[in-house]
A and B are shown apart, each in its own frame.
Chain A
Amino acid sequence: MAAKRFNRGVALVGAGMSSFGAFPGKTTRDLFVDAFKDMQASVDKGFDPKDIDECYFGNYSSSQFEGQGFTAPFIANAVGMNPRPAIRAENACASGGSAIRLGVMAIASGIADMVLVGGYEKETDQPTEKVTEILATASDNLYENVAGFTFPGLYAALATAYMHRYGATGETMMKVALQNHENGALNPKAQFGKKIGDFIKMKQRSAEKKGKPVPQWDDEMAFLRDPRANPVISWPMRLFDCSPVSDGAAALLLVADDMAHHFTDKPLHIIGNGVASGVAMHDRTDLTRIETATEAGRVAYEMAKVSPKDIQVCEVHDCFTMTQVIATEDLGFFGRGEGWKALEEGRTARDGDRPINTSGGLKSKGHPVGASGVGQVVEVWKQLRGEAGERQLPGDPTLGLTHNLGGSGQVCVVNIFERK
């Protein structure tokens, strides 16, 4: 099959997000307004919202989380987009990535010159048990859900298969958490923008206040190994292996390539866009990898005419810690079974040779599922334009990639961005 191509080029000229976290009293509409304003402020030469031709929004399940189905026209209305077309994409945690796909297609096809892409989710109004159940409706309801699989459970099962074959351990996963929280601590929009050391101090202060004995840990790993500080949720996964329950929204402004310089002198070009769908976990022949990611990556790399070694900035879908390790292999950064070693050697840290999730990832930044795939692009936007502040990668990076999984990996969206 010949490499896929766009009929015309697509550029990113603005990207913004709300803070991710728990925001009682705010609905997805309010969160999206925050994201839209942040995106507006990011467009160097400004733009007239009336020039937006179409809107594509990623949202997993406001119908279950907020009791509001049919969100696209409401969200479009909240930012003054009516009567423009507004369509919601639902692909579980890859809803945001899927909305990007639709926006890219609209511009590449010529039907639109300027597109607003968004993603939003409001999860924290529901108790944790209910959130677990809502997320579990993205697993196979006929055969996985009934067996007792939750989302942490499905990804924990992948982790056991990976650990068994390649020798990774629970310590590997703890090191992912450690690394992502180191990065997230430098991201003011992150829900848990704290280092593990900061969590230790919080626990100690809280004990002190209550007049209880102050707990001591030798170091951050000792804290993560302590089952009282970091309890098992679904073995081998513990609390600090799971991305949080989050509220949040993100927004992007896409335009046709030849218009990009009206809005900024530093546009990013979407040079690769791959999407793949796949089977439920029990139908896979290999549970140590996620085939959709390899396939979406292959399509995106071929379209972009780049290879994994060319990528300088990369946000992967670390809904759970081991998922990040597997993603770095699926995308071709490391060989099979090598990802966990690379992680433990510090190669994926901010100062490593293959930095991953400089934003803090979903783990630290937060995972409002419909917004996550769009939020990843905000980090690439900042890094490739030299605007990532304290977490800015050195070397003036020009090539970035996002990897957004849906469900247990039954969908993956990979985008490749270039600053020319």
Chain B
Amino acid sequence: MSKDFYNAAGFYEYVDEKKLMGTRCKSSGELFVPPRPFSPSCSGGEMEWVEMSGKGKLEAFTVTLYGPTRMVEAGYGPKNPYCVGIVRLDEGPAISAQILGLDLTKPEEIKIGTPMKLTFLERTEGEEKKTYIGFEAT
């Protein structure tokens, strides 16, 4: 029922259902991804969830060899690096996510502006499997 809070918990409940959702302020019409329960520009307003198309463009990225524990547990490391970046959605807002489908042996050939589409990935963290958003090059 976290969806009623229009916050991160609701966002990740939707991610478990394989949906990328933002919130829209019913009074100002502003769209927030990641979601916000409160619109700072109009100081309030009721929110509603809006599903994103999942299309966007790569705005910045890095290929990480030395990640945090959650990425090490998921099998990443100096010999198996991962790409993480910021994707600007066609709807306007941007979000951080793991980036898939690129040749990580040649990071210098990865282009800012590469079209991206939403995907979902599962990482094993300790005993748990968790679903996260990801993007892949189209």
Contact surface of A with B, Cβ cutoff 8 Å = 128-129, 132-133, 136, 140, 142-150, 152-154, 156-158, 160-161, 164, 231-237, 281-284, 287
Contact surface of B with A, Cβ cutoff 8 Å = 8, 34, 59-72, 76, 78, 81-82, 84-86, 93-98, 107-108, 111-113, 132
B68–A132 touching, CB < 8 Å = yes
Residue of B nearest to A145 (CB): B68
| Chain A residues whose C-beta falls within 8 Å of the C-beta of B82 in the assembled complex | 148
| Chain B residues whose C-beta falls within 8 Å of the C-beta of A157 in the assembled complex | 60-62, 84-86
| Chain A residues whose C-beta falls within 8 Å of the C-beta of B34 in the assembled complex | 142-143, 282
| Chain A residues whose C-beta falls within 8 Å of the C-beta of B97 in the assembled complex | 147
| Chain B residues whose C-beta falls within 8 Å of the C-beta of A234 in the assembled complex | 62-66
Main secondary structure of the interface of B (DSSP, over half): mixed
State in angstroms the CA–CA spacing of A235 and B106 once bound together: 10
A158–B64 touching, CB < 8 Å = no
A147–B84 touching, CB < 8 Å = yes
State in angstroms the CA–CA spacing of A3 and B5 once bound together: 40
| 14 A-B contact pairs sorted by A residue (CB < 8 Å) | A129-B69, A133-B68, A136-B68, A140-B96, A143-B95, A148-B68, A149-B96, A150-B64, A153-B64, A233-B64, A235-B64, A236-B107, A282-B94, A282-B95
| Chain A residues whose C-beta falls within 8 Å of the C-beta of B84 in the assembled complex | 147-149, 153, 157
| Chain B residues whose C-beta falls within 8 Å of the C-beta of A132 in the assembled complex | 66-68
State in angstroms the CA–CA spacing of A353 and B96 once bound together: 39
State in angstroms the CA–CA spacing of A152 and B66 once bound together: 9
B66–A233 touching, CB < 8 Å = yes
On whether A160 and B60 interact (CB within 8 A), knowing A143-B8, A143-B34, A282-B34, the answer reads: yes
User: Which 10 pairs show the lowest CB-CB distances between chains A and B?
Assistant: A156-B62, A157-B60, A235-B63, A147-B96, A164-B112, A148-B84, A161-B60, A235-B107, A234-B64, A142-B8
| Chain B residues whose C-beta falls within 8 Å of the C-beta of A152 in the assembled complex | 62, 64, 66
Residue of B nearest to A144 (CB): B96
| Chain B residues whose C-beta falls within 8 Å of the C-beta of A233 in the assembled complex | 64-66
- Name the distance in Å between A252's Cβ and chain B's nearest Cβ: 34
Known: A128-B66, A282-B93. 12 other contacts (CB 8 A): A136-B68, A140-B96, A147-B132, A149-B96, A152-B66, A160-B60, A231-B65, A231-B78, A234-B65, A235-B64, A235-B107, A283-B94
A232–B59 touching, CB < 8 Å = no
Of the listed residues B86, B98, B132, the one surrounded by the most CB atoms of chain A closer than 10 A to its CB is B86
B112–A148 touching, CB < 8 Å = no
A143–B96 touching, CB < 8 Å = yes
A133–B112 touching, CB < 8 Å = no
B95–A232 touching, CB < 8 Å = no
On whether A160 and B112 interact (CB within 8 A), knowing A143-B96, A147-B98, A147-B132, the answer reads: yes
